[in-house]
Structures are given as structure tokens and as C-alpha cells.
């Protein structure tokens, strides 16, 4: 049985860095005193004297009072009591003098809440349970009290009992009792506390709460709007505290952080929620390297002891390198299968579609090598890969097999092996059982396709028993030198910010903002863990003139919406930069949970609904009158179209 004490009290790690000297001596002394307190007092201020999971042979003979839930009962002789700390076996008294105690403990339904008092005794020889942390002892009960009886449950509170996610969300207060949810939320709490300690106590950061009600801002994700009592005027829920933390830098709060609630009016996914939490950080007089070293130290300090130490500094890779080698800006570097440019091998090819690709600007021939693919893949896997490429990317992928007795090669693939097979084999180091997936086209498009197929192939190989991605490995990576702007999907002739409009350009590319802004690189950096983005930040623009030019001339935004920020930058704004870590996603990866909904106490469903309370809900028209708004109900055809845009998802 997992010991909660170890989880909640790993001990205070001695920081490698120097503790910043605080100005106020009394404040400093209080911090030192609080940090010396290492043993949590789980039974202070409450009715119990011990928790269910902490009792051992060393407690034999002690009189204890326990409170918890009835996990199960056996033959009306034993019951197992559970609390957040673990399990303990309770012996139900059988003698006539304790009939009232027996009645309470035998008749209370499973998951009822009880309080018991009694003596810690040894289990009879041969009846110890090595699978329980408390398996050497049991409680001989003297008194019992039923604190609350439990009605029939919609599902059993056992981790091996499979429940649909919709049912778990509907009865979230029951789902929270499960071992896994308890572990996830307590680990989250522990990591956040260590982050606060590292930032505030060791490095002088100030925890500042910023407003939830704000105004609509240009660009970025869609924001939730909140009606006000002033006709036609609305608040907006901020998608991040970005502007506030920059204003705090102008205000001289030169080291800010916040465990910030953020809101985006967008569809949910396994790693997205309409409301989510960030560890939000901003510093003055800092460069990109300074931010990166801070975050590496923060994660190293707050990393759970049972997950193994983190090696720092984290490796770094440019956006261009990530795209060329992995086909994505968030590469999973736990396994190989990198993308290789094999254009030179086929410079004189007679294969039409390869020759056509190389004749176009930016055209290239790319490939990945799948180790052992010929051994593990089935014909249907290859057909699925080719269909994926055609449906999602409108591109052809050629599977090439070196093995002579593998007759899945198309005539074109066979011709390739005859024509340039030796050069291909040498450059990609192909072994007999490998499969090469080859495609041709525009560089970025070809890399993106192979990046997706790389992950698809990894999934297929692991489904067949090949270990590629060790779940115990935490592979962090910095991705840097992103483009400052990207073409808009709906209108490629216009530009939008790759990160956000407050990101500073790369110092050597500033001149491009006035001539070729699409070529400018940014001082934006992402933190990637095992193929998922867990953080992103940048050095900010701190000069009003440059910020005004980017908003108005490059992004074509209404600068009046950001007049407050532009004015602030004109009043002695220091150089500054920051980052935000996605707390939900980070904890999800640390715990190995399949979805961020498993590390949030009360998450929303895939469609952004609270299945427990029924939110969002209708409001009567008379209650909307003070806000000067009324509902325009959609027609049946509009309602059908809306349901198609928000399909049900297996992740719920």
C-alpha cells in the first residue's frame, strides 16, 4: 500500500543555489521556522488520533481513534477502514457486551463514514497481509459511531472497477475517493508547494493575484465574455495574465509569479480544458538563458523523489531543427526514427513524382526508418499508413522494404530500390528487417507528415510489444528560434503572431520587421516533455514604438484596445521576459494519467460541460434583463450544424 506520508513529506531538499537575503529580518526568521517543520500533523485539530495508513507494529498496545470510510466487510468479523492515508483492518467485536458496536459496524453500508476507537494489536501468526502497509496489525474495537450512512453507489470505489469517464465526472465527489485521484491531487499539491518555496523563499519572487474580469484583447485564443449591467458592455475572462504581468514589470515588481487560472472558449481535448492553470512567471532584466536556467532549477527542486532526478541543463533545439528531424515543434526525443533528407540520393531519378518534387522551390524527398518494421507490421498497417497520408495530407507515402522475400513493395518502390537502393541503404543505415517510409513534396509539409507517421509507427510497434518510449524517462527539451509570425490559415496573405503579439524579435532580425517580417525569428522558447509542450514563453517587447509598429503595421490590429499597455511601455518599462508552465499538463505527464481531467479536481467534459452540476445552464429571461441581453434561439438546421461541430469524443 502506498504511504501518503512519504508522498507528502519527502523532506526539504537543500537548494544548490544561494538563498536570497530578505530585507525584513522577522519575515526571514518566520520562513526559516516554517521550513524546518518536516513532519505533517495529520491528526491535529480533528477527532481522530491516528490515520488509517500510518499504524505499524511500533504502535502495538496504543489506544487510537480512527475516522474513515468502510472499504469492505468480511463475514461480519472484519472490516477494512480507509482514509486518505491508507487502509487498516478492524476486528468487529463478537461478544454480547459489545452488541451495539457490532450492530453499527455490521449494518452500516459500504462507503459509510464511521469513527472507531480501540487498541492496536498484532494479527494472529500467519494472517499478516504483506500487501498492506498496516498488514501486521489490526484494531480491536471498543466503541464505534456511525457518522454518516451511504446510499447505494452508482459504482464501486475500487480502482480495478472500470467506469466510463462520463459517469466519473457525474459523480466526481465519489471518483475523488479513488486511490489514483487521491495520489494525483496530492502530488499536484506537493509540487506546487515546492514551486512556491523555490520561487518565493529562495529567489525573491512575489506572488501577485491578477484580475479575472478584464477586457477583450486582439489575437490569440477565443475568450469568454461576461455581460455587465452597462448596456452593450462586456468583460472578458483573460486567456492568460500576459498583459498584467508585463504591467507589473513596469511597476517595479521585478520578479512575479502566480498559480494563475486561465480561460479559453475553445473545445476540450485530452490535454485541453476551457479553464486551466498555469505557473505564470515574469522577470525584469533577464535574457532567454536566465529564464531557462530558472525553470530547470524550479523543476529540479519540485520534482517528486520517486520519479528519479532530473539532469540539467535541458538540451536545446531550434524550431528549424525540430521540424527537419521530427516533423513537429514538440518532438518526443525518447526514441529515434528521425526524418532524413534523401534528396541527394535521387537527384538523377527517373521516378516521375520524385523528380517533380525536386524541381519545385522548397521541394525535397524525406524518409524515416522504422526499425524492425518488416517484422512487426502487417499489410493492413501499411495500408492504414498510406491512407492516413492521403486523407490527412493529400500526399503519397511509399513503404520500401529491403528484404527480398517481402512482396509488399509497389512497382515504384521496387524500382527505387533497384535505381538508388545502395545510396538509400547507406545513408539511412537500413537493416534487413527495417521499413523505410518515403515521401516527396514541400519541405515543411513532407516533414509534418513524416512526423505524424513517426508517432503512428511508434504506437504500432509498442502495441506489438516493442519498448520505444520508457514511461519512467522524463525527456525535457527546449525548442528555440521560432518564427515571429506565421501566415494566417484562412488568409495566407496576412500574418499572425506565432506566440503572441508581445514577443520580442530576435535581435539580429529586428530590421526585417520593416521589410520582410515573415522572415523574422522571435525570442520565443517552448519547453517540451516527452513530446508534449508543457511551457512557453518569450522575451517581451519593452519599447512602445516597436510594439505599436508590430500591432498596427504587421498584424493590422486595433491599437486602441491595447492603449493602456502602450502607455505603460512609454513610462520607463524595463527589459523583461517570462514563461508559463501548463500545470495540468505537467502533472498529467508526471503521474502518467491518460488525460488532464485526471489531475484536476472538478474538470469539464470534452464539450466543456460540468456533468455533475449541469453547467452551463439556462437563465430565465427576467434574470437577463439587468444585463440588457436576450437569447436568440437557433433554428433546427443551425442546431444540427452546431452539434456536428462539437462531436462526442471517446475521451468524453
Q: What is the mean pLDDT of each run of 10 residues along the chain (652 residues)?
A: 41 38 36 53 94 97 98 95 96 95 97 98 96 97 98 89 92 95 96 98 98 85 91 94 97 98 79 92 98 98 93 97 98 96 89 87 95 91 93 90 66 75 88 92 95 97 94 95 94 92 96 96 98 97 97 94 95 98 97 94 92 95 93 75 45 33
Cβ atoms within 10 Å, residue 627? 16
For the chain, the domains span 5-163, 183-314+476-599, 335-463
Look at residues 619, 624, 485 and name the one whose alpha carbon lies nearest to residue 557: 485
- Let me know the angle formed at the C-alpha of 359 by 319 and 395, rounded to the nearest 5 degrees: 65
Quote the strand ranges of 337-392, DSSP E: 340-341, 363-370
Residue 1 has a pLDDT of 42
Grid cell of 375 as nine digits: 517484422
The set of residues, in sequence order, having a beta carbon less than 8 Å from that of 473 and lying 6+ positions away, is 334, 530
Look at residues 598, 366, 368, 325 and name the one whose alpha carbon lies nearest to residue 477: 325
Residue 636 has a pLDDT of 73
Residue 296 has a pLDDT of 98
Count of helices and strands (H, E) across the chain: 20, 21
- Return the CATH architecture of domain 5-163: Beta Barrel (2.40)
Distance CA 547, CA 131 (A): 62
- Let me know the angle formed at the C-alpha of 518 by 292 and 536, rounded to the nearest 5 degrees: 25
Distance CA 184, CA 592 (A): 9
Residue 648 has a pLDDT of 38
Distance CA 187, CA 400 (A): 46
Q: What is the pTM of this model?
A: 0.88
Burial degree of 275 (CB within 10 A; 0-12, 13-18, 19+): middle
Distance CA 505, CA 594 (A): 37
- Return the CATH architecture of domain 335-463: 2-Layer Sandwich (3.30)
Cβ atoms within 10 Å, residue 244? 20
Look at residues 597, 584, 606, 589 and name the one whose alpha carbon lies nearest to residue 650: 606
User: How does DSSP classify residue 50?
Assistant: S
- Return the CATH architecture of domain 183-314+476-599: 2-Layer Sandwich (3.30)
Contacts for 298-302: CB closer than 8 Å, 24+ residues apart = 298/195, 298/198, 298/199, 299/476, 301/13, 301/15, 301/194, 301/195, 301/197, 301/198, 301/202, 302/191, 302/192, 302/194, 302/195, 302/198
Amino acid at each position: 500500500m502506498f504511504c501518503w506520508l512519504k508522498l507528502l513529506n519527502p523532506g526539504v531538499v537543500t537548494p544548490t543555489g544561494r538563498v536570497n537575503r530578505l530585507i525584513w529580518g522577522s519575515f526571514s526568521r518566520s520562513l526559516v521556522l516554517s521550513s524546518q517543520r518536516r513532519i505533517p500533523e495529520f491528526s491535529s485539530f480533528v477527532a481522530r488520533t491516528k490515520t488509517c495508513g500510518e499504524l505499524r507494529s511500533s504502535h502495538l498496545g496504543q489506544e487510537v481513534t480512527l475516522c474513515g470510510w468502510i472499504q469492505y466487510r468480511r463475514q461480519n468479523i472484519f472490516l477494512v477502514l480507509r482514509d486518505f492515508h491508507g487502509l487498516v483492518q478492524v476486528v468487529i467485536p463478537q461478544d454480547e457486551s459489545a452488541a451495539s458496536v457490532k450492530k453499527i459496524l455490521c449494518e452500516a453500508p459500504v462507503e459509510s463514514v464511521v469513527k472507531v476507537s480501540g487498541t492496536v494489536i498484532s494479527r494472529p501468526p500467519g494472517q499478516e497481509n504483506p500487501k498492506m502497509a498496516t498488514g501486521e496489525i489490526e484494531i480491536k474495537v471498543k466503541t464505534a459511531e456511525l457518522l454518516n450512512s451511504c446510499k447505494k453507489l452508482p459504482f464501486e470505489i475500487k480502482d480495478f472497477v472500470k467506469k466510463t469517464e462520463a459517469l466519473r465526472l457525474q459523480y466526481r465527489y465519489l471518483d475523488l475517493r479513488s486511490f489514483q485521484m487521491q495520489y494525483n491531487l496530492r502530488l499536484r499539491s506537493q509540487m506546487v508547494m515546492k514551486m512556491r518555496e523555490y520561487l518565493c523563499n529562495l529567489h525573491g519572487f512575489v506572488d501577485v493575484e491578477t484580475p479575472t474580469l478584464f477586457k477583450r484583447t486582439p489575437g490569440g485564443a477565443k475568450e469568454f465574455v461576461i455581460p455587465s449591467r452597462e448596456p452593450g458592455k462586456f468583460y472578458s475572462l483573460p486567456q492568460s495574465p500576459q498583459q498584467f504581468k508585463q504591467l507589473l514589470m513596469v511597476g517595479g515588481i521585478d520578479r512575479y509569479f502566480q498559480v494563475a487560472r486561465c480561460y479559453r472558449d475553445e473545445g476540450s481535448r485530452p490535454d485541453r480544458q476551457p479553464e486551466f492553470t498555469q505557473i505564470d512567471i515574469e522577470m525584469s532584466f533577464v535574457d532567454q538563458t536566465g529564464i531557462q536556467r530558472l525553470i530547470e532549477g524550479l523543476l529540479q527542486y519540485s520534482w517528486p523523489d520517486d520519479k528519479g532526478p532530473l539532469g540539467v541543463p535541458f538540451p536545446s533545439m531550434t524550431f528549424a531543427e525540430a521540424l527537419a528531424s521530427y516533423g513537429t515543434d514538440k518532438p518526443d526525443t525518447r526514441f529515434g526514427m528521425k526524418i532524413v533528407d534523401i534528396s541527394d540520393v535521387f537527384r538523377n531519378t527517373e521516378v516521375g513524382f520524385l523528380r517533380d518534387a525536386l524541381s519545385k522551390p522548397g521541394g525535397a524527398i524525406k524518409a524515416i526508418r522504422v526499425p524492425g518494421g518488416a517484422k512487426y507490421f502487417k499489410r493492413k498497417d501499411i495500408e492504414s499508413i498510406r491512407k492516413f497520408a492521403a486523407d490527412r495530407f493529400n500526399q503519397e507515402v511509399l513503404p520500401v522494404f529491403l528484404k527480398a522475400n517481402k512482396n509488399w513493395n509497389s512497382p515504384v518502390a521496387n524500382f527505387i530500390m533497384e535505381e538508388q537502393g545502395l545510396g538509400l541503404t547507406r545513408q539511412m543505415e537500413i537493416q534487413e528487417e527495417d521499413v523505410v517510409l518515403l515521401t516527396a513534396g514541400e519541405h515543411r509539409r513532407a516533414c509534418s507528415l513524416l512526423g505524424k507517421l513517426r508517432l503512428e509507427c511508434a504506437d504500432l510497434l509498442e502495441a506489438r510489444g516493442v519498448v520505444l518510449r520508457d514511461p519512467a524517462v522524463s525527456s525535457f527539451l527546449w525548442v528555440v528560434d521560432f518564427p515571429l509570425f506565421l501566415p494566417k490559415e484562412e488568409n495566407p496573405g496576412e500574418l499572425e503572431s506565432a506566440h503572441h503579439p508581445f514577443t520580442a524579435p530576435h535581435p539580429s532580425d529586428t530590421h526585417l520587421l520593416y521589410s520582410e517580417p515573415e522572415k523574422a525569428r522571435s525570442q520565443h522558447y517552448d519547453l517540451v516533455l516527452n513530446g508534449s509542450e508543457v511551457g512557453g514563453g518569450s522575451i517581451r517587447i519593452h519599447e512602445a514604438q516597436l510594439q505599436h509598429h508590430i500591432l498596427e503595421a504587421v498584424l493590422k490590429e486595433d491599437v486602441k484596445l491595447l492603449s493602456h499597455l502602450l502607455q505603460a511601455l512609454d513610462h520607463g518599462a524595463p527589459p523583461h521576459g517570462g514563461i508559463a508552465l501548463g500545470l495540468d499538463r505537467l502533472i498529467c505527464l508526471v503521474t502518467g494519467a491518460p488525460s488532464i481531467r485526471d489531475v484536476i479536481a472538478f474538470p469539464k467534459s470534452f464539450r466543456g460541460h460540468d456533468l455533475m452540476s449541469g453547467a452551463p445552464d439556462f437563465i430565465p429571461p427576467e434574470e437577463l434583463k439587468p444585463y440588457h441581453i436576450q437569447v436568440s434561439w437557433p433554428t433546427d438546421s443551425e442546431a444540427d450544424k452546431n452539434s456536428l461541430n462539437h462531436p462526442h469524443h471517446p475521451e468524453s
